[in-house]
Amino acid sequence: MSGIRAVRQTAGAAGQDGQQEGQAALGRMPEWDLGDLYPAPDSAELERDFALCESEAKALAADCAGRIGSLDGAALAQAIRRYEVLDERLSRLVSYASLVYARDVSDPKSGQFMQQAQERANEIVSGLLFFTLELNLIPDGELAEKLKDPGLAAYEPWLRDQRVFRPYQLDQSLETLLHERSLTARQAWSRLFDETTAAMRFPVPASDEDGAAVEELSLEVALHRLSDRDPAVRRRTGRALGRTFQKDIRLFALITNTLAKDKEIEDRWRKLPAPETARHLANLVEPEVVQALQDAVTAAHPRLSHRYYALKAKWFGTDQLDWWDRNAPLPEAEDRTIPWAEARDIVLDAYRRFSPQLAEIGQRFFDHPWIDAPARPGKAAGAFAHPVVPSVHPYLLVNYQGKTRDVMTLAHELGHGVHQVLAGGQGHFLSQTPLTLAETASVFGEQLTFRAMLEAAGPQKRKMMLAAKVEDMLNTVVRQMAFYDFERRIHGERRQGELSADRISEIWLTVQRESLGPALRFDADYGSFWCYIPHFVHSPFYVYAYAFGDCLVNALYGLYQQAEEGFAERYLDMLRAGGAKRHKELLAPFGLDAADPAFWARGLDVIAGFIDELEELS
């Protein structure tokens, strides 16, 4: 069904478990109360809603199956409304199960509850696949006549987006088969990946001496240690990560090969021309626009990532940095812990300077238990904003550790949350924003927060903040497009046969060297780092949405800096539109066009300009 929503995860956010240092310095942090959804997994309210979904799905099928095309405009609008109400209730159920699981992915009961909820929802959805399939069989001319009804016209954007998949849909029996077996195919392999990475522990020696005490770190803690001030800590942690990944590399290779083959089979049956086509269709973005983005980023490697990492190597007194030093803090960087309350105020103040309304909506997340901030054993890694359903509210998850980068992650996820609240007025179906536009508010929120902090910084602090921002932007643009390139190569080669773990690692290292440049030194230990990236497993080809959003926000922020009257209101209108408009319509009021190569150049020039300033400061 179109509305059952997946958790949206961000790239590069870090979590931490009970081993973290300085937890007390962060102050009291909020945790979720999921009671706005359901009192408990075994509650009567949850069972009641599942029963309602089951009965309404049967009633809808009895009334409409085989008849969608014959309904007049008013009757079709009424049927879609019934379908939307049902879908929203079912999305609420599945969202609750996902959030319960995210609180502790290591808890077998949470995993079992999520699996049971997904299986039950899957069975309900199977009986409703006819709905959109029959909608897509209505000839264009007949649908145009039906759309003269005002009630149906309100759903025109949703109908338009559903029909994007018309050329690739299969008959109902095949669609039902693919849908029902997803629980034992992609979803099962994704769960295996999640539970494997959550259970992994990385043995990091306390020193280089023989017999030194060894600390067993979770994945998120270990990844966070790659930003430690001590180069020896970064080196030992990096080695522990690479060697531990290598122990399970055959399992990760099996997951990668199986999911790529599973996708190839479905793509072949649907006659999709390329592995990434389905993602472009879901994102409502033209392939040539994404290709223009990739070409622009690849061409910019020398003036962006290659130039910056060469500059960073000089700051460290060398010509080359080891890979574990890529995100190392600069030698003179501050290492101050930012308490949670201060982070909250920094973000909300930055939002308020742009728009009081933006800050007011953001404040709600802190006034209510809608954010889960502290790191805990078993908690889902990274960070995300889950939209849930418009009739409730979004929930945010972060793993806050008190660094400037964590403040930016908070600003990012709050941007998602505010966007989801504003778009909620469109209703359940039309509030759902394509991924390419879903990153706009989050990255814009980061940019507002960064600029506010930068204004208050002295010269030395300014250099540190600019360097950190450049690294984040390179991670968001260059690295995510490199991930996209890696996925294209993997899925392309997999169509010729299974790839060995060594071959996957070889492709990974090739892409990393090409994108990040000669100032970084990679070795065999880094060759296994592809295996922990969740987007490759959960959402193939998702990653280019980050680069799309970053470049889009850079262009938008440039207009904002020109102090155009009414910019903030036009921006909020864009967020309110949700999925009712596509990127061309949304960008038109700002005079921007993603199909124009100059659009991407404008966004990349912002990164290059920051590097220019860093060279001057150095």
What is the SS3 assignment for 208-220?
CCCCCCEEEECHH
The span from the CA of 614 to the CA of 191, in Å, is: 43
How many Cβ atoms are within 10 Å of 569's Cβ, its own excluded?
11
Q: Are 52 and 89 in contact (CB under 8 A)?
A: yes
Average pLDDT over residues 138-150: 96
| 608 pLDDT more than 90 | yes
Confidence category of residue 182, pLDDT binned at 50, 70, 90:
confident
Average pLDDT over residues 97-106: 94
The span from the CA of 110 to the CA of 101, in Å, is: 5
Q: What are phi and psi of 260, to 5 degrees?
A: -65, -40
542 contact partners, CB below 8 Å, separation of at least 6:
279, 435, 535
Average pLDDT over residues 405-434: 94
Confidence category of residue 335, pLDDT binned at 50, 70, 90:
low
Q: Please count the residues of the chain.
A: 618
The span from the CA of 232 to the CA of 237, in Å, is: 8
Domains of the chain, CATH where assigned? 28-193 (1.20.140.70)
Q: Is 492 exposed, middle or buried (0-12, 13-18, 19+ CB in 10 A)?
A: middle
Candidates 228, 225, 200, 205; CA nearest to 215 is 205
Of the listed ranges 6-10, 36-40, 111-115, 399-403, the least confidently predicted one is 6-10
Of the listed ranges 4-8, 24-28, 346-350, the least confidently predicted one is 4-8
DSSP letter at 380?
P
| 13 pLDDT more than 60 | no
Structure tokens at 327: 């995100």
Confidence category of residue 147, pLDDT binned at 50, 70, 90:
very high
The span from the CA of 395 to the CA of 99, in Å, is: 8
Candidates 192, 201, 197, 199; CA nearest to 255 is 192
Q: What are phi and psi of 386, to 5 degrees?
A: -100, 120
Q: pLDDT at position 562, please?
A: 82
| 87 pLDDT more than 80 | yes
134 contact partners, CB below 8 Å, separation of at least 6:
65, 66, 68, 69
Q: pLDDT at position 456, please?
A: 85
Q: What are phi and psi of 285, to 5 degrees?
A: -130, 145
Q: pLDDT at position 269, please?
A: 95
DSSP letter at 521?
E
| 16 pLDDT more than 70 | no
Amino acid of residue 601: A
DSSP letter at 309?
H
Q: pLDDT at position 22, please?
A: 55
Q: Are 232 and 241 in contact (CB under 8 A)?
A: no
Candidates 442, 449, 394, 467; CA nearest to 615 is 467
The span from the CA of 193 to the CA of 309, in Å, is: 32
Structure tokens at 3: 């509305």
| 111 pLDDT more than 50 | yes
The span from the CA of 204 to the CA of 292, in Å, is: 43
Structure tokens at 67: 């008849």
pTM: 0.81
Q: What are phi and psi of 355, to 5 degrees?
A: -160, 120
Amino acid of residue 252: F
The span from the CA of 610 to the CA of 312, in Å, is: 13
| 3 pLDDT more than 80 | no
The span from the CA of 611 to the CA of 39, in Å, is: 51
| 81 pLDDT more than 60 | yes
In whole angstroms, how far apart are CA 293 and each of 56, 225, 305, 306, 507?
44, 32, 16, 18, 21
Candidates 260, 273, 278; CA nearest to 495 is 260
Average pLDDT over residues 551-560: 88
The span from the CA of 238 to the CA of 212, in Å, is: 17
The span from the CA of 548 to the CA of 584, in Å, is: 13
Of the listed ranges 5-9, 112-116, 552-556, 561-565, the least confidently predicted one is 5-9
H helices of 331-476, in order, are 340-354, 356-367, 404-423, 435-455, 459-474
Q: pLDDT tens, 272-288?
A: 999 999 999 988 889 99
| 331 pLDDT more than 90 | no
The span from the CA of 104 to the CA of 593, in Å, is: 42
Higher pLDDT pick, 485 / 24: 485
Q: pLDDT at position 564, please?
A: 66
Average pLDDT over residues 388-416: 94
Q: pLDDT tens, 507-551?
A: 999 999 999 999 999 999 999 999 999 999 999 999 998 899 899
Q: pLDDT tens, 188-239?
A: 999 999 999 989 999 999 999 988 899 999 998 899 899 999 999 999 999 9
Q: pLDDT at position 363, please?
A: 98
Average pLDDT, the chain: 91
Candidates 329, 345, 370, 575; CA nearest to 464 is 329
Percentage of the chain beyond pLDDT 70 is 95
Confidence category of residue 470, pLDDT binned at 50, 70, 90:
very high
Q: What are phi and psi of 210, to 5 degrees?
A: -60, 135
Q: pLDDT at position 15, please?
A: 34
- 3-state SS, residue 368: coil
The span from the CA of 277 to the CA of 487, in Å, is: 13
The span from the CA of 370 to the CA of 32, in Å, is: 5
Confidence category of residue 256, pLDDT binned at 50, 70, 90:
very high
How many Cβ atoms are within 10 Å of 173's Cβ, its own excluded?
9
The span from the CA of 379 to the CA of 99, in Å, is: 10
Q: Are 151 and 73 in contact (CB under 8 A)?
A: yes
